[in-house]
Structure 1
């Protein structure tokens, strides 16, 4: 042990002050003060922030510290073997040894709060004026530094590290409903290499991680990312493994393993924690499966509803189309009927006018004449004498004004059977037969100079 600086009374006073501030026994206080050359501030800083056995070169003191830590973090309710007492569960945090220690810690609380506040202010000012603060990096750079450094250890390839930030690995564990094992790496710790060789990179451990589908993620506590993760997990003792899983819709740390241990108690503690918390993951998986089933049924019902809706729309559109066609047909029929009625009225007016004209027409006197005998489809007939130089339109008008004459007709001579082109041009809108309207000739020009029987043909018949 290094030589004590100062008188015995001063050393005893420093011991009592350190014990009051840190709530530890005389042996631990003396060890940290000795390592700090009896500088109280440096010793307190070393205790709260180093907490590292490497700062203590004496093997006996290191063993004493391990024993004290083992007693402090032991879980009296844990049913695991005694050599697993150093495994700490989140549900039973470490406790102080005696009621006196509790009382001393309570009295020292204001001093500790003042110390930490002053220390943070000091570190801020120190970093502001060029102190050796942590380098400003991003989480991905810190992760790559860790992966590069950890790859240099033997058998490191046995662990498949998650390549992502702490937030990303938490989201992955939450979305995939898997356990997450976080390793806090402190390369300056004297137990780190032994822990990596005997535990973390042991084939039994890697097989355990793979068989239980555990996500492995690690970080160096000397980086910004590692410091933040260690702070959020409230870890100051290394090496450290923290088991995290989804409980009650939030990520919770369900197991912490601090310090160097054999692989058997580590695996036993992990297996126990997995068994205790698997029911939470199973409940979440069941809930998600049920929700997915409900969503799938809802989607199927929605799809069936959409199909039925499309069918109803198609039927409605078909009914509307048929109704529209029916209405169009009725409208066209109505318009056609109205047009036909208008045509009949117009033709009736023409007949009345022609009948009046024929009534006042003078009889043919002198010259060459021709007798025309007209036969109607109804059996009615009449005879009339025309001059051979009269227009055939006169014959047409005489037939049209007859009471039994159809509205749409043509004139045909009986022998020789010839279609007489005698309809005037205005009759085009009333006839359904194409002929030379308006190109009427005289009887002589048509070669009709002898008596003739003319037949009236109903074009609508």
Structure 2
């Protein structure tokens, strides 16, 4: 009757967190832990750190007002423990937020390092591809130059008609000279130059007045007679970038 009174109902009913029956195993365990001797047994249990303390235990209910007063008294005297728990919870929340921030910063750092590593790997792969391509081109051109040395047509004799004496001046070496037939392909000027080890892979030849620039790939079916008029001609060789 006391526990069912209006005063206790309005105060306790909305704040009752847990209850059990002594007819259940849970109730038997609670009875033993709380050392309850009569029923119903009303307890206020406070948590202090990892410990649980019985702040109030009521086993006799003689008067509703007296019972309510004891409950209020028990709650008030649990304030220190409750305050401790609130501070611990606040501290735990702060540590949790700090840990989250640290974890987020760590993940951002790891992500940034990973992106940098992936970027370095891409750059290294690209650089290696470029180097491999350059090396492949050099090897192919070395084979091309060796083939030119073996297949270059023989030089016409000095008594042969319709020939042109060509001198090719190199940037840092003595000129190289050769006679050509006027009906030889103009590309033969470049192919002859490539048989000399001092000549770079990529170059232009300049001749005429005013001087014109010629590149191997830009010469079509022209013959030497088409691009040179006299019986002698001086060409100037200039190296160009490998990518051109």
TM-score, normalization by structure 1: 0.39
In structure 2, how many angstroms separate the alpha carbons of the residues matched to 1:440 and 1:313?
Answer: 65
Contact 1:246 1:280 in 2 (8 A): no
In structure 2, how many angstroms separate the alpha carbons of the residues matched to 1:414 and 1:296?
Answer: 91
Contact 1:388 1:449 in 2 (8 A): no
Structure with bigger helix share is: 1
Correspondence for 1:458: 239
Query: 1:398-409 residue pairs with structure 2 within 5 A?
Result: 398-409=192-203
Larger-gyration structure (1/2):
1
Correspondence for 2:162: 368
In structure 1, how many angstroms separate the alpha carbons of the residues matched to 2:165 and 2:77?
Answer: 115
How many residues are treated as equivalent by the alignment? 206
Correspondence for 1:150: none
In structure 2, how many angstroms separate the alpha carbons of the residues matched to 1:381 and 1:169?
Answer: 114
1:273: how far off?
5.8
Correspondence for 2:229: 449
* Partner residue of 1:391 out of 185, 191, 198: 185
1:346: how far off?
1.3
- SS in structure 1 of the partner of residue 224 of structure 2: coil
Query: 1:219-258 residue pairs with structure 2 within 5 A?
Result: 247-248=44-45, 254-256=61-63
1:323-371 per-residue CA deviation (whole Å, 9 max, x = no partner) reads 232233333323322222222111111111101112x525266342222
Name segments (4+ residues, structure 1) moved above 6 Å: none
Gap runs ≥5 in structure 2: 18-38, 46-53
- SS in structure 2 of the partner of residue 445 of structure 1: helix
In structure 1, how many angstroms separate the alpha carbons of the residues matched to 2:107 and 2:44?
Answer: 49
1:30-85 per-residue CA deviation (whole Å, 9 max, x = no partner) reads xxxxxxxxxxxxxxxxxxxxxxxxxxxxxxxxxxxxxxxxxxxxxxxxxxxxxxxx
In structure 1, how many angstroms separate the alpha carbons of the residues matched to 2:169 and 2:61?
Answer: 119
1:398: how far off?
0.6
Correspondence for 1:172: 14
Gap runs ≥5 in structure 1: 1-88, 91-160, 176-231, 234-244, 258-269, 425-435
Query: 1:261-280 residue pairs with structure 2 within 5 A?
Result: 270=65, 276-280=70-74
Correspondence for 1:282: 76
Contact 1:369 1:449 in 2 (8 A): no
Structure with bigger strand share is: 2
1:306: how far off?
1.7
In structure 1, how many angstroms separate the alpha carbons of the residues matched to 2:90 and 2:80?
Answer: 15
Correspondence for 1:346: 140
1:255: how far off?
5.0
In structure 1, how many angstroms separate the alpha carbons of the residues matched to 2:174 and 2:78?
Answer: 103
1:171: how far off?
3.9
Distance of aligned partners of 1:247 and 1:308 in 2 relative to their CA distance in 1, 3 Å threshold: closer
Contact 1:372 1:383 in 2 (8 A): yes
1:381: how far off?
1.2
In structure 2, how many angstroms separate the alpha carbons of the residues matched to 1:378 and 1:291?
Answer: 89
1:419 equivalent in alignment to 2:213:
yes
TM-score, normalization by structure 2: 0.68
Distance of aligned partners of 1:373 and 1:255 in 2 relative to their CA distance in 1, 3 Å threshold: farther
1:295 equivalent in alignment to 2:89:
yes
In structure 2, how many angstroms separate the alpha carbons of the residues matched to 1:378 and 1:414?
Answer: 21
Higher relative contact order (CA 8 A, sep 6+): 2
1:323 equivalent in alignment to 2:117:
yes
In structure 1, how many angstroms separate the alpha carbons of the residues matched to 2:57 and 2:12?
Answer: 7
- SS in structure 2 of the partner of residue 454 of structure 1: strand
